[in-house]
Chain A
Amino acid sequence: MKPPPVLAVEGLSVRYPVRGGLFGGVTGHVAAVDGVDLAIARGEALGLVGESGCGKSTLGRTAVALQRPTSGRVMLRGQDLFALGPRDLKHQRRHAQLVFQNPKTCFDPRRTVGGSVRMALDTQDLLDPGDREPAVADIFARVGLRPEHRSRYPHELSGGQLQRIGIARALILRPELLVCDEPVSALDVSVQAQVLNLMKELQAEFRLALLFISHNLAVVEYVADRVAVMYYGRIVELASRAALFAGPRHPYTRALLAAVPSMDPARRDEAAPHLGEPPDPARLPSGCRFRSRCHIAFARCAADDPALAEANPGHAVACWAAVPDGPSVPASA
């Protein structure tokens, strides 16, 4: 029998109330994540892309139990994270670690970085206390830092060095799932390449299930085995890296890819389709939520909400133009 995926997200929704009006009452809801199903196997890297505000960070935070879903389940190693008691949840957290976007703000400024990494072991009560310091030294070496870096404070280190330590702090717990939320966006190009190379090596070495969240499609193409494209809370396309980048099916994915400026000055005048302004998340259009920015939308797109359905084996798309007879999602409140 096939082992269960490391992470399985089932029917996941996260809704936030929108307050407004004279007395600040709840005037509506925004679904940051709106009915998402995803699974990541051991050793697999899933890239999650989308514009700011599409819900990709909320999805990542829910996967590591930092955010409670409104509905749906997050199964980590076959266990429903939000059905666990506090003690079991704390134990499970060890297996799902997060690397943040801005390494300069995710360390205690008054603690040495070695101390911060060691604290992860102390909190989880992993290893004999005498073995913890050598384990910290080992993981520092593995992420390309020298032993003396352990006694430095965050402000003494560069962004690239701190992000290596962010990765070390996550990996010292030997997690099965690593969620990286824009891990190289705050880094310079020359340093970004170093960190991406390191992440790819470590992902293979530790056979990590990796959820790699980024707005940068070129970076995702480098890291991911499969790619999910998110738009206003929904996964609108999910395919292998090769299939998605070579043959994107959703008009939103195509627009995202076309908008990436070419690194070849000779191709600068190839017009990128202009998507227009994004909709107000509290007032998404009826039917397909992308239709207000879609240049191929037709009548059905306003009437029915397309569900994510297989257009080719292993290539799922939520678009009536890609899967004309696909199932529709019943209109929800």
Chain B
Amino acid sequence: MSSTLRADPVTTASDGPASGEQLLAVRGLRTSFKTSRGELKAVDGVDLDVAAGEVLCLVGESGSGKSVLALSLLRLIEPPGSILGGEVRFEGRDVGAMPRRALRRLRGRDIGIVFQQPQGCLNPVRRIGWQVAEPLMRDGLGRAKAWDAAVELLRAVGLPAPADKASAYPHQLSGGQAQRVMIAVALALRPRLLIADEPTTALDVTVQAQILDLLRERCRAIGAAMILVTHDLGVVAKLADRVAVMYAGRIVEQGPVADLFAAPRHPYTRGLLRAAPRLGEIGERLTDIPGGIPDLARMPPGCAFAPRCDTRRALGLDRCLDEAPPVFAAGPAGRARCWALAGDAA
């Protein structure tokens, strides 16, 4: 399987993943939406790094800004939304300063993207083989060669009978198969980064496991890094090298997956991990987080999580209500925005 892919004429110049090398650097990114209710700060000062070949999971609840952040990386924000500030660098190049052409190249060739609803992203009146072949043809490959390469790509994503299935239309596929096709399209040009936004949320749990394994296997095979956006901590535990937890437009904690699950430092991360029901660990009650996600149009002045925070109450930290916490070191390799960590920082 991999040998056919290596022969694939669209291979980029990379000689396998150079792990640890900086691929994406985001600093102070801000994206807002103008609405009748005021300005919604969906992404409010985000710093993020992705190294070549690593899997970063961006986890948060609905309205936390995780999908808007993912789209902002590609400057795919349309009015009434706009990117107000900050910097995104991909392989050292400033994405914000890129001319249209370079931006087009970035989207699809350098960075692939997979969305939640595969059926909604595929063209319903075009055979799936052509949809996979399209980026290859745009890249200069002839029709016949592109079709053959598309069949190989469909084989690599585990579509059964790929030579026949390439002639199928999207409605003839199951949800899991359609997501496999989307992955084939996203990885056709061997991007260095794949952004997958809730790629398994619309799928059954039995199919989810297969798609997650496939994502990891294909990204490893071509040396791509991955940003996986999800609300599901089980998905995070399965796939992530590093985790960034978002709450109300900010990354409140990030760190290596093992550390973050074993010793979460931010009270919100702790709350999320406790609130998720786990198979085989059934107590009398689930430990919920009281209250709800704040209204992004009426954000509290201090820490956005402060009104729901049990740690703030236990420690009697008043400053949380007035002053937004800066980033503190959290654990051996992590960072978190929480005043309770102010003492630990040094």
Contact = CB atoms under 8 A, between A and B. Distances in A.
A217 B205 contact: yes
A221 B279 contact: yes
B275 A259 contact: no
Contacts of B273: 263
Given A189-B231, A262-B237, A217 B204 contact: no
Contacts of B278: 218, 263
B289 interface: yes
Interface bin, chain A:
35 or more
Interface in A215-238: 215-219, 221-222
A260 interface: yes
Interface in A73-124: none
B288 A221 contact: no
Most chain B CB within a 10 A radius of its CB, from A193, A197, A272 = A193
B282 A222 contact: yes
A193 B289 contact: yes
A52 B290 CA distance: 31
Contact of B237 (A52, A192, A264): A264
A126 to B, nearest CB: 31
Contacts of A255: 206
B282 A190 contact: no
From A189, A216, A245, residue with most partner B Cβ within 10 Å: A189
B277 A266 contact: no
Contacts of A222: 277, 282, 286
Contacts of A218: 276-279
Interface stretch (A29-37, A168-176, A274-282, A305-313): A274-282
A52 to B, nearest CB: 6
Interface stretch (B10-18, B40-48, B207-215, B337-345): B207-215
A256 interface: yes
B61 A190 contact: yes
A323 to B, nearest CB: 24
A245 B207 CA distance: 20
Interface string A206-219: 00000000011111
Contact of A259 (B177, B209, B282): B209
B231 A188 contact: yes
A259 B206 contact: yes
B226 interface: no
Contacts of B209: 259, 261, 272, 274
Interface string A277-316: 1100000000000000000000000000000000000000
Interface string A44-68: 0000000110000000000000000
A121 B46 CA distance: 50
B269 to A, nearest CB: 11
Contacts of A69: none
A193 B235 CA distance: 18
Contact of B258 (A52, A188, A266, A272): A266
B275 A193 contact: yes
A265 B209 CA distance: 14
B204 A52 contact: yes
B169 interface: no
Contacts of B176: 277
A244 to B, nearest CB: 11
A2 interface: no
A208 B208 CA distance: 33
A191 interface: yes
Interface string B206-246: 11111011000000000000000001111101111000000
Contacts of B279: 217-218, 221, 245, 257, 260
Contact of B288 (A190, A219, A265): A190
B272 interface: yes
Contacts of A191: 61, 288-289, 292
Given A193-B276, A218-B276, 15 more contacts: A51-B206, A158-B292, A189-B233, A190-B272, A191-B292, A194-B290, A222-B286, A255-B206, A261-B237, A262-B234, A263-B237, A263-B273, A264-B237, A267-B237, A268-B239
8 cross-chain pairs, A with B, having the tightest CB-CB distances, nearest first: A261-B234, A193-B288, A188-B61, A190-B289, A193-B286, A193-B275, A218-B277, A272-B209
15 contacts: A51-B205, A188-B62, A189-B275, A215-B205, A216-B205, A217-B279, A218-B277, A218-B278, A255-B206, A260-B234, A260-B279, A262-B238, A263-B234, A265-B237, A265-B261
